[in-house]
A and B are shown apart, each in its own frame.
Chain A
Amino acid sequence: MSEYSVVGQKLPRVDAVEKVTGAAQYGADVHPAGMLYGKIVRSQHAHANILSIDTSEAEKLPGVRAIITQDDVPSGRRVFATDKVLYLGEPLAAVAATDPDIAEEAAELIKIEYEVLPVVQDVMESIKPSAPRLHGDATKDGPNRRNINAEIKKLADEVDSNSDEIRELEAELEKYADEVYYNISAESHTEAGDVEKGFAESDIVVEDTYFIPRVHQTYMEPHVSVASADSSGKITVWASTQGPFAIRSGIAGTLGIPLTQINVIGTTMGGGFGGRFGVIITHVPAVLLSQKSGRPVRVQMTREEEFLDGRPAPGCVIKLKTGATKDGHILARQALAFWDSGSVSGASIGSTIRVRGVYKIPNIKIDAYGVHTNKSGTAAYRAPGAPQAIFAGESQLDDIAEQIGMDPVKFRLMNMREEGDSVPAGGSEPKVGYKETLEAVADAAGWWDREANDNQGWGVAVGDWTNGCGPGGVYVSVHEDGSARIFHGSMDITGTDTAITQIIAEILTIPYANVTIRRGDTDSAPYSTGSGGSVVTFTMGNTAKLAAEDARRRILELAAERLNTNADDLELRDGAVHIITADPPKSISLGELAAYSLSTTGGPIVGKGSFARQPSTPALAAQIAKVEVDPDTGRTRVLKLVASQDVGFAINPMAVEGQIEGGTVQGYAWAMMEEMQYGENGNINPGFVDYRVPTSADLPTVESVIVEVPAPNGPYGAKGVGEPPITPTLATMANAVRDAIGVRITELPIKPEKVVEALKNNGHGA
């Protein structure tokens, strides 16, 4: 028996009915009177100088109400390209018209003259001196080259620039020409211990290069916003976003508008996965078009536009080297990673450190670079950067286990960090269920007595992630009928409103059905951090707990007054306050107290919770897949997929299982089929015909196993659960395929053609 009655229960989501009946209001359902339809005019080339933009023909088209270019951005912040485009689909202008077809036609009438430039799409090409430079001479040399140049300059300041010393130095630096990278957008370097020494002491050293493609979050609802600027300058934006407050400050900053002149109303989100925080993708163009036309304007992306100008997850190339002793101790690991950040910086290069995993590795060296290519920029996608790095790390671990003849699960268990071990970031390892989670998945999947059948294989991998934390506020009111109403400003993301509701019902001891939740807009609700980084249940759960406890204080105060006793003698249970020692029992219901409160000096029952920061605890996801590979066609069928996760405490186990299943399936898709493909002129699969996401026919039911090792600062011990489950699946799948066919595939996705190729190279077939 659980000590709780509402948290920890598999309760239906608070928004289940509105989702199922279609009553939920998404961005595209918003239609203010007089609304115009916006359309963004996009570059037809992946890399080109813009010679001219001529809007005159489009302006003449009846029904066109506004056309904007970068000239219409008063702050000068880049919203549209002006002199140069860096990717296919980059915005150049936008139109608003009375009808979507007119907007489309007007967009076609805008004449753009291009001077086409050479294109670079591959990071390994982009870092070469011969590659076209995306950002001109300003970034002709990468930061690391700048460091070397700085050295020369420093010396030149000290000595005669024509001296032999300088020439010697230059000659010396020439030797490192291969290590000078171009088109670098950012870099990150980490070192601990001495990897060279570690490799030297290793019995086995494995080295490989891993290729992970760029993938799209493929949320069901494309980006959409409706903006309305009124005559006083007040701006209202209905935004499909994970973070209304972030959008408010983003619009304010981009357009130089005072923060409180903008009200952002978050509409029900059709999926986000980290990709729904962008400000200039649709929100800013909608605001600018509304300001210019004086009418509300909707800007809604098509699926094709999502692929061309969304902000997907970066692909990357990771060179990884690991050394271990023959009895299974990992001694050193070194990574050199090139992340494809597209036209701007922002790829999650820092996540390269996740090749370390949750293992005791004394010597480590990480060098990571963000590299420009002629693609759109990137953004977060469910544990940004972790699936890529962990794919490399966990693939290589299996190869080492194989070489030393050790069971892959036992090898991992042996090397996992334990409570009290020193951690990379400093301090010591908290209590985390690393081993418990891996053991749980191995037991549930039947790992220990798995059979070796022809063409079948078993793969295991683990991935770690730590939830974020951010500010939030919650109010809870108790009404005269004994019900409670929650008011807050955070976007529901896959059941977080449900978790908040459960927590408040638990503390107020009233039935779950008697607690309702309402989200405010940025004008009305207390500030809330964005719904990303697995923060919501951790942050808003703690906030909700504080609010409910605040309300409970007032309830007990009122009851003490009413029952003429001390608050210490009172107990809140089953929706009423009881005098603990009274015989016969004496109590007063919450409804009665709420009614009574209306005529008191202290006033109604309103609990307030406000919370910003507490240290989070890492979470682990461990997965096992069993696959069957057809060696002739290269097609892989998943026979079993089991996923366990240390969730701290499952506030709603049904929602948690949903998260585990969803993340695992997304990881499976990245491993086996998803890939944004690029040709000479940009993305060539901008739609669901050739960008394949799996259907329910591709997978058996994912078996979820919940492990609960409480997080000290989480509400009821809960950790963020959304991101961890995607982190190991790429490697899980690759390891299972490796076990089935006996050949390691290091390039994702593992399409049939690659399997056939790999087997052929290994001597299979004709």
Chain B
Amino acid sequence: MKNFEYFEPTTLAEASRLFAQEHAQLLAGGTDLVIGMKAYTETPQSVISLQKIPDLAGITTDADNSITIGTMTKVREVELSKDIQQYHTALAEGASEIGSIQIRNLATIGGNIAHASPAADTVAGLLVADAQVNIIGADDERTVPINELFTGPGQTVLKPGEIITQFHLPSPASGSHYIKHKIREVMDLAFIGVASAVNLQNGVIKDARIGLAAVAPTPIRATEAENLLKGKIPTPELLQQAGEAAAAATSPISDLRCSAEHRKEMVDVLTRRTLQYALDRATR
């Protein structure tokens, strides 16, 4: 790898100041950055580790069952958290799809999101959890809804020096599910990823959220499909309509993994499937 300067700040303010410099990169778990540096696709002049800053990791559940996940929380912890498994099943399932267990023990949820890959496995689960992203900059703090965080592949609204600190998951859905379309059973990248979450009240869908990964330049919510479902009693026909509406909301590319057409078709199939799983969970 190319030479670089390495920093281990102990405060977020210091980290933010260093990160505001040109050609600086944050080091969280390192599972993307270090590989990129070894392959010379990432050539930062300074690398700023977040490891020495206290209180950036951990999962806390409040009395109202809202959950806060620190940015440096290992993906493996997200996967195994009983509260996330119960209230945000899709997110726990997404976390369990990342790389190998060894990778998940290193990778952080903040890194998975800040890397802004449209195919990130935790992103669909965060979308359907309606996650709020807490961000700190040199001078101020702000909160951005997860569906407004991404602007393009590898691109976010984060300004120079801004660092994601937390993900806040406000209202747990009554059931959610994530499916990753892939070839290999484990350690594959998502051809597409679909998460659905539903709240059921007396057999009627109170609200539904559908998060889609790897089907557009950024991860997206399928809002038209969500609106179709709201206030309705779930039927196979309704789920089919939702699947079709979700597919229509996408603008996938064709690449070496599969064609755009296949991605669209799979959005349709997997939206129906994840909704059905989420509904089953909600009625359990």
A→B interface (CB under 8 Å)? 101, 104, 304, 632-633, 635, 672-673, 677, 679, 684-685, 689-690, 692, 694-695, 697-698, 751-753, 756
Contacts and interface: CB of A to CB of B under 8 A. Distances in A.
A690 B1 contact: no
A633 B266 contact: yes
Contacts of B3: 101
Interface in B256-275: 256-259, 262, 265-266, 269-270, 273
Contacts of A753: 258-259, 262
25 contacts: A101-B1, A101-B2, A304-B39, A632-B273, A633-B181, A633-B266, A633-B269, A633-B270, A672-B183, A685-B256, A690-B189, A692-B183, A692-B184, A695-B184, A695-B186, A697-B184, A698-B184, A698-B185, A751-B258, A752-B181, A752-B183, A752-B258, A752-B262, A753-B259, A753-B262
Given A633-B270, A756-B262, A689 B189 contact: yes
A101 B38 CA distance: 10
A719 B225 CA distance: 62
Interface in B151-192: 181, 183-189, 191
Contact of A684 (B184, B256, B269, B270): B256
Contacts of A672: 183
B40 interface: yes
Interface in B4-19: none
Contacts of B273: 632
Nearest to B188: A692
B187 A751 contact: no
A684 B266 CA distance: 24
B181 A697 contact: no
Contacts of B40: 104
A304 B35 CA distance: 13
Contacts of B269: 632-633
Contacts of B191: 752
Nearest to B243: A766
A97 to B, nearest CB: 15
Contacts of B257: 690
A694 B269 CA distance: 25
Contacts of B184: 673, 692, 694-695, 697-698
Interface residues of B, number: 24
A40 to B, nearest CB: 15
Contacts of B39: 304
Name the prevailing secondary structure of the A interface residues: loop
Nearest to A693: B184
A677 B256 contact: yes
B228 to A, nearest CB: 17
B183 A695 contact: no
Interface string B78-117: 0000000000000000000000000000000000000000
Contacts of A685: 256
A519 to B, nearest CB: 33
A695 B102 CA distance: 15
Nearest to B183: A673
Contacts of B270: 633
A645 B68 CA distance: 57
Contact of A751 (B1, B183, B185, B266): B183
Contacts of A698: 184-185
B73 to A, nearest CB: 25
Given A689-B189, A698-B185, A756 B265 contact: yes
B265 A697 contact: no
A751 B182 CA distance: 10
Given A690-B256, A697-B185, 20 more contacts: A104-B40, A304-B39, A632-B269, A672-B183, A673-B183, A673-B184, A679-B256, A684-B256, A685-B256, A690-B189, A695-B184, A695-B185, A695-B187, A697-B184, A751-B183, A752-B181, A752-B191, A752-B262, A753-B262, A756-B262
A399 B40 CA distance: 50
